[in-house]
Structure 1
């Protein structure tokens, strides 16, 4: 399948070892019928056939090329329904349902408002408008299980930590059918084209008192894994339903050690400032400008707003005007076009050029008046990278330029420049990283992500409560960082020694 088609339909294919694990568990209770709601090339019914299960198999597929591929490879008796599963109205209750559903974000779900209304009325699931398509599949399958039937889904782990996931978790808690979750380590990328951390949901149509939260560090570990056997022998991995909170990030339930770090001298970040996402243009190809494009279209300086576009472009911890000029001379995209300031004929011609390239027809631009206007966000004094591997990337914005969504901006409330510098120095440290990462979201291949509210709900050190001697030491380190030409590890270790002693947690 071409990747463009695969991406359009949110399709990512399942490892055979994982497929066998899922199907084996779902069929364990002498299932009489079997459903795969998004069959793709057909690995789940194939596994059911290989396991010798004498079940009546029904599979559903919507995408034409996948239907053709399934028919070509199908060597066993099966009922193929060529339909969108969400629109497939079956009165049958299934003993076993196994699925790797499409992973489309809410913008890519056709008729999502109609589905939201339908699911609310039919299933009592009041899903958020931001809900991933895979959750619609999951809710529908839960309601199509026979009494005692089993459902096994592999889905992105993100819904257990996101805002839209609150109502999903609430729904699962109400049903009490979720027997357990097997979460893969964030360094285990199950799908080569999907940047996401995955988990397997074990669901059975009967009421449970507890749910199991299990970590897996590698796919090979699962070759002999049996969920029923594991849960019978390892009760310490279970959490009572009465102790599960849909408003919390469920990453904490996978930790066998104490997750909440007890620290001193910490305050909510909200008392110091607020983290906001960067500027979303709706068409970076049009709005982001480098030196070459500015000269090519002879754009006036009033339409060119200084703004960094990409996190990898920022190599230094402290981004000043000298660093900005360096990027500009390297022909990096460090300006945004602000069409509302267009006065010259050249500026107006560039707007027409944008319309010719249909930059005005994107989701954001088509809902904006005028389409070429920019979000009115001031420069943030501190940037925090949205995606991180290892340490959280934090940058002090001394140049006073704006940023796109590659960074979140930390806007402080009433802090002096020196206090902002101290806060920045704290955020650089491993101590701060460990505390902030309690609210992270895990994606595939060791990738972590923070949404603005993940950081807003975090705690940071109380800058105002530091002694004058500590402040002086930190500011001295800040000056060392400014003079540094490369390796800052020694200075960061010095800062960590200072702040870890204040926090007294490590």
Structure 2
């Protein structure tokens, strides 16, 4: 019978909401063992665990030399965590327990080793956010945005307090490797020459319960002679023993297990996915940056959807004039197919879905019903929300031109593009894709391309992973992506694509006929992209 671990017991005793509020996600024993083994190899006399949780790292630690004296300093803001660590380790004199916030502790004490699974929590929730960020800028000369996740700060501060010759092991969300905000973090790691191994976990598997994010293990060493880092991908938990053995040999392997790069060859401004995952782009011809043809921007953010998004019953009950609202898609599930028509919107409206957006302008006189509704909003303090309190007047929502194509922000099984035939606006569950004036007549051709498998695979190279198959795109991820070069199309080829597009447009979504025409479109663009037959043969199983 499997032993009940402290982590298992704690999860039974606390709610998911409470653990998420503190960013608590517990390290699996097999991963903890690898991380502890890494730091133990440098025979540390002092070890820092800045977010000790339930104490798995100090409880597993065994010095290589039994006569060695190793002192641990461990921190946690949750008193229950500190007590649990004390009970788990019997609180030997070599462990100093601190019920305090490591981010607010001094920067002077140095350590031979640092090991951590830091909290996954937005810095904006911290009551001393600005003071801490100012200190980081002074100490590291690194200005971090206010929405930085705390794990980045734990990583940077912990590494800053690592002695020369010391080792560090962190398990953190992998998203910073491929996100714009991660550029400064990656550049710091490169400048300091700290990275030794980056262990990438398979993006279809979560190591942590309750977490959507995926993880990366950073094994670091402050060694002035270090000039390279090795990326190693792990696809299942069964890969861990092989990786563990490989790293434990300590030798400079002639044949790397993963992909090794000199620090000078790594670009912090790039998504680092290019260094450890295969790139389909290398196989393609006839591609260009998407910004050659259009651009993406986020949907409308109201700051108070419960106030701004109205149902038919709200409009009728409050006698609101049609001049005060406009049709709007407010939730991703309201759109079921790649073609959204005025009839589709009308059906949602009649079903009393919240598919209208309050559209008030400050330069017009408001009638009594709408004035009463604004008063209702202020009574319920909608005007004090973060976004609304920074508007003047607060009830004037953002203005956006309807985009011809929408792209779903979060996708799980398949990327969702939608042709906005209704000509309406949408909120943030979708991004807007606008097409440059020069290519307005080619919108059906561009949409036809977006319906293909090859378009999806190319675009996925710009994605962000959040675990369990969930991927996210920010507008700039789309803007920095590549698409087929529509400029090379002849008039004949455009007509062929338009014909296939019109056929698929008339088919019931995902019907047999739909699949036939979608396959024909895919084959057509595969030929135009000049993909070799061998590449085409395995595209069906080629998943980034």
User: TM-score when scaled to structure 1?
Assistant: 0.93
Tell me the residue number matched to 1:477.
Answer: 500
Deviations 1:77-132 (A, max 9, x none): 22111111111116432222111111122432443333333222212333344432
TM-fit CA distance, 1:482: 2.5
Residue in structure 2 matching 1:238, options 226, 240, 260 = 260
Residues 1:254 and 2:276 aligned together: yes
Alpha-carbon RMSD: 2.3
User: Residues 22 and 326 of structure 1: is their aligned pair in 2 closer, same or farther, counting only changes over 3 Å?
Assistant: same
Judged with a 3 Å threshold, the aligned counterparts in structure 2 of structure 1 residues 247 and 115 are, in CA distance, closer, same or farther, namely: same
Aligned to 1:131: 148
What corresponds to 2:407 in structure 1? Answer: 384
* 1:95 correspondence with 2:121: no
- Matched with 1:356 is 379
Cα deviation for residue 19 of structure 1 reads 1.5
| Count of matched residue pairs | 505
Q: Is the 8 A contact 1:181 1:213 kept in 2?
A: yes
Query: CA 1:342/1:453 → structure 2, altered by over 3 Å: closer, same or farther?
Result: farther
**Are 1:12 and 2:17 matched, yes or no?**
no
Q: Is it true that 1:440 corresponds to 2:457 in the alignment?
A: no
Give the 5 Å matches for 1:123-162.
123-162=140-179
In structure 1, distance between residues paired with 2:156 and 2:280: 30
Q: Tell which deviates more after alignment, 97-106 or 43-52.
A: 43-52
Return the alpha-carbon distance in structure 2 between the equivalents of residues 73 and 285 of structure 1: 47
Structure 2: runs of 5 or more not aligned: 1-13, 537-544
Q: Does 1:57 align with 2:56?
A: no
SS at match of 1:363: coil
Q: 3-state DSSP class of the match of 2:387?
A: helix
Separation (CA, whole Å) in 2 of partners of 1:394 and 1:318: 9
Residues 15/129 of structure 1: CA separation in 2 closer, same or farther (3 Å cut): same
**Contact preservation (8 Å) 1:418, 1:475:** no
Do structure 1's residue 24 and structure 2's residue 37 form an aligned pair? yes
> Which residues of 2 match residues 70-109 of structure 1 at below 5 A?
70-71=85-86, 73-77=88-92, 78-89=95-106, 91-109=108-126
Alignment partners' CA distance in 1, 2:507 and 2:280 = 36
Deviation at 1:63, TM superposition (A): 2.6
CA distance in 2, matches of 1:475, 1:115: 56
Aligned to 2:316: 295
Which aligned pairs between 1:178-189 and structure 2 lie closer than 5 A? Answer: 178-189=195-206
1:392-412 CA-partner distances (Å, limit 9, x unpaired) = 111100001111111111011
Per-residue deviation, residues 314-373 of structure 1 (Å, max 9, x unmatched): 111110111111222232221112343782322222222222332222221222222222
Q: Which residue number in structure 2 is paired with residue 304 of structure 1?
A: 325
The change in CA–CA distance for 1:283 and 1:172 in structure 2 (over 3 A counts) is same
1:493 counterpart (511, 519, 522):
519
Structure 1 residues 181 and 474: alpha-carbon distance in aligned structure 2, compared to 1, 3 A threshold: same
Q: CA deviation at 1:204?
A: 0.9
Name structure 1 gaps, 5 residues minimum: none
Question: In the alignment, does 2:366 pair up with 1:343?
Answer: yes
Distance 1:363 1:234 in 2: 53
Contact 1:211 1:241 in 2 (8 A): yes
CA distance in 1, matches of 2:316, 2:17: 34
After TM superposition, the structure 1 stretch with the greater mean CA deviation from structure 2, 12-21 or 170-179, is 12-21
Seen in structure 2, the aligned counterparts of structure 1 residues 352 and 34 have a Cα distance that, compared at 3 Å, is: same
Bigger shift: residues 448-457 or 117-126: 117-126
Q: Shift in Å at residue 68 of structure 1?
A: 4.7
- 1:136 Cα deviation from its structure 2 partner: 0.8
Asked whether 1:321 is paired with 2:342, we answer: yes
Q: Which residue does the alignment assign to 2:9?
A: none
Shift of 1:206: 1.0
Inter-partner Cα distance in structure 1 for 2:81 and 2:368: 51
Greater CA drift, 494-503 or 385-394: 385-394
Q: Secondary structure at the match of 2:282?
A: coil
Q: Does 1:170 align with 2:170?
A: no
Name the stretch that deviates more: 112-121 or 158-167. Answer: 112-121
Q: Find the counterpart in structure 1 of residue 430 from structure 2.
A: 407
Query: C-alpha offsets along residues 422-475 of structure 1, whole Å, 9 cap, x if unaligned?
Result: 101101111111221221112211111111111111222233431222212221
8 Å contact from structure 2 (residues 124, 148) kept in 1: no
Deviations 1:237-273 (A, max 9, x none): 2111111011111011113x45642433322211211
Determine the structure 2 residue equivalent to 1:430: 453
In 1, Cα distance between the equivalents of 2:379 and 2:412? Answer: 39
Q: Mean Cα displacement is larger for which, 478-487 or 71-80?
A: 71-80
Residue 528 of structure 2, aligned match among 491, 502, 505: 502
Is contact 2:187–2:268 with CA below 8 Å preserved after alignment? yes
2:480 maps to which residue? 457
TM-score by length of 2: 0.87
Deviation at 1:62, TM superposition (A): 1.0
CA distance in 1 between counterparts of 2:79 and 2:317 reads 44
- Asked if 2 retains the 8 angstrom alpha-carbon contact of 1:37 and 1:99, the reply is yes
